[in-house]
Amino acid sequence: MVFRKSPDGGWGWVIVVVSFFTQFLCYGSPLAVGVLYLEWLDAFGEGKGKTAWVGSLANGIGLLASPVCSICVSSFGARPVAIFSGFMVAGGLMMSSFAPNIYFLYISYGIVVGLGCGLLYTATVTITCHYFDKRRGLALGLISTGSSVGLFIYAALQRELIDLYGLDGCLLIVGALSLNILACGSLMRPLESPDSPPPEKTCVDKVPDQYFVYHEKEKAVEENISILEKGYIHEKCANNMPDYKQDSILNKNVLSSINVNEKDTYKKKVVEQTNFCKQLAKRKWQLYLNYWEETVVLFKNKVFSALFVAILLFDIGGFPPSLLMEDVARSANINEDDYHMPLISIIGIMTAVGKLTLGILADFKWVNTLYLYVITLLMTGVALFAIPFAKSYLTLAMLSGILGFLTGNWSIFPYVTTKTVGIEKLTHAYGILMFFAGLGNSLGPPIVGWFYDWTQEYDTAFYFSGFCVLLGGFLLLLAALPCWNACTNQSSKLPPNTYSYKVASSA
């Protein structure tokens, strides 16, 4: 695919709008799954830890499968993947309305909807990056708020639909709304030049072309045979005298020459195909070796290793509130008349505010993005420790707003990754980090639910969550300290092409 230069406008703004609504429609229900979580607890009577797996899978499976999602978008394009994923999300939501047990929901809501969301996220980010270069940060920031706005609206919408039509009717209606993703996906026109020459083939694609040599040889043999036959027929007609002996001898000679040529051609084909398969396997194996060598080099960077631990612990401890905060309020016996707004809606709108605010702060040269990220981790840990002491709707709403704002640190995470490993290794490093982020999203809510099933209260669970986030923040801060960098740089030198984060230079 040969792409034109990014227009930084024009149809690109249509791409931003449809990408915003795509994330709004696909992530609205999975992020606001805390409302459904309460209904599933009552409907199936399972433990909180087992039930929490549904929402955690829906939010984590897309990140876990991020390498597969990237391959799909690269192979088929953003528009086909978006349309196909729209069917997945809508179908998974509608199937969930007929779930007979919690295990069915693991597949329909957790895996099908989660994987569809992961594919749509990759498609929207990829197509937006194609259309924007100078304004790429603004465009990505705008589309990323779609999921937060979806969380804000869907939390109240799903609660209202449950009151009117029940849990099954709610899932059917939400699934029908998700079909609008198909319209959004159809507008994701690829940025390609219709008049551009076809792309050159890669080395792997060029190798099979050498087989055409043998096809040409076969054609030459066939042409020679036809020429002999035509010449023989012409001569036979001119002489007008049948000669059966000569005819049989010539046919035998022709057939023997054909058999010899076919055998030689077949042997050459087998040899060439065998060599090609060996070379292809060798190249693929070399690619895998290079990948693991680059991964080892990344983990030799102390800041990257600490960042990987921090993002894993942050998602284990920081994600559960968005799923379980409604149940926390119900467990605290808060009167429903005191509810002015669902707590999950507060988390959603403050997450959007946090993404924009922290993203703007990260653009200032005097702000160290790594230290800014560490501050958000430490503050999140403190807020999680405070949840067990909140016994009213007002205090829970305040903590939900704080946690939502701090969760907006996702907008500066790519900045931190780039500063840590360098732009040339961003894709590789970011894929690894997103995998562990998905692992944390998948494990966090069930662990908190198991703590509740074990202790019959959420206090111990949120102490554990706060400890995880604080531990990750302190480890990252320790790795980023200038004195630690100086000691490690003197004791060991990083391999070439590895970028060490110089905190002191930008502090």
What would you measure as the largest C-alpha separation in the chain, in angstroms?
A: 115
pLDDT digits (tens, 9 = 90+) for 175-185: 999 999 999 99
56 and 442 Cβ atoms separated by less than 8 Å: yes
- pLDDT of residue 215 exceeding 80, the answer is no
- pLDDT of residue 328 exceeding 60, the answer is yes
pLDDT at 441: 82
Which of the residue ranges 87-91, 238-242, 412-416 has the most confident prediction, judged by mean pLDDT?
87-91
- pLDDT of residue 488 exceeding 50, the answer is no
Check the CA dihedral 53-54-57-60 and report its sign.
negative
End-to-end C-alpha distance for the chain, whole angstroms: 42
Contacts of 491 (CB under 8 A, 6+ apart): none
CA distances from 405 to 51, 62, 348, 380 (A): 27, 23, 9, 9
Six token digits for residue 168: 């099954």
pLDDT at 102: 92
Q: Nearest CA to 384 among 408, 409, 407?
A: 407
H or E element in which residue 11 lies: helix 11-31
- Average pLDDT value for residue range 480-488: 56
- Average pLDDT value for residue range 398-406: 91
pLDDT digits (tens, 9 = 90+) for 230-248: 444 444 444 444 454 455 5
pLDDT at 183: 93
Gap between the Cα atoms of 489 and 466, Å rounded: 32
In this predicted model, which residue has the larger pLDDT, 287 or 4?
A: 287
pTM of the model as a whole: 0.66
Gap between the Cα atoms of 440 and 64, Å rounded: 10
Q: Nearest CA to 322 among 346, 338, 356?
A: 346
In this predicted model, which residue has the larger pLDDT, 165 or 34?
A: 165
Count CA within 13 A, CB hemisphere, residue 224.
12
473 and 299 Cβ atoms separated by less than 8 Å: no
- Average pLDDT value for residue range 353-381: 86
Contacts of 16 (CB under 8 A, 6+ apart): 128, 139, 142, 143
Domains in the chain, please, with CATH?
1-192 (1.20.1250.20), 277-484 (1.20.1250.20)
Six token digits for residue 491: 């004791």
- Average pLDDT value for residue range 297-301: 78
- pLDDT of residue 378 exceeding 70, the answer is yes
Sole residue written with tokens 């490093």: 429
488 and 503 Cβ atoms separated by less than 8 Å: no
pLDDT at 498: 39
Choose the weakest-confidence range: 1-15, 294-308, 330-344: 1-15
Which of the residue ranges 228-237, 265-274, 305-314, 357-366 has the most confident prediction, judged by mean pLDDT?
305-314
SS3 content of the chain, % helix, strand, coil (to 5): 85, 0, 15
67-81 core/surface letters (b: 16 or more CB in 10 A; e: else): eebbebbeeebbbbb
pLDDT digits (tens, 9 = 90+) for 119-138: 998 888 878 877 877 776 67
* Residue 10 DSSP label: T
- Average pLDDT value for residue range 359-377: 85
Confidence bin at 261 (pLDDT 50/70/90): low
Q: Based on the number of CB atoms within 10 Å of its own CB, is 426 exposed (0-12), middle (13-18) or buried (19 or more)?
A: middle
- pLDDT of residue 88 exceeding 90, the answer is yes
Gap between the Cα atoms of 200 and 217, Å rounded: 25
Q: What is the CA angle 176-181-183, rounded to 5?
A: 105
The letter for the amino acid at 323 is L
Gap between the Cα atoms of 13 and 1, Å rounded: 22
pLDDT at 486: 44
C-beta atoms surrounding 258 within 10 Å: 15
Choose the weakest-confidence range: 24-38, 133-147, 202-216, 317-331: 202-216
37 and 445 Cβ atoms separated by less than 8 Å: no
Which of the residue ranges 328-337, 346-355, 371-380 has the most confident prediction, judged by mean pLDDT?
371-380
C-beta atoms surrounding 245 within 10 Å: 7
Look over the chain and give the mean of its residue pLDDT values, rounded to a whole number: 77
182-218 core/surface letters (b: 16 or more CB in 10 A; e: else): eebbebbeebeeeeeeeeeeeeeeebeeeeeeeeeeb
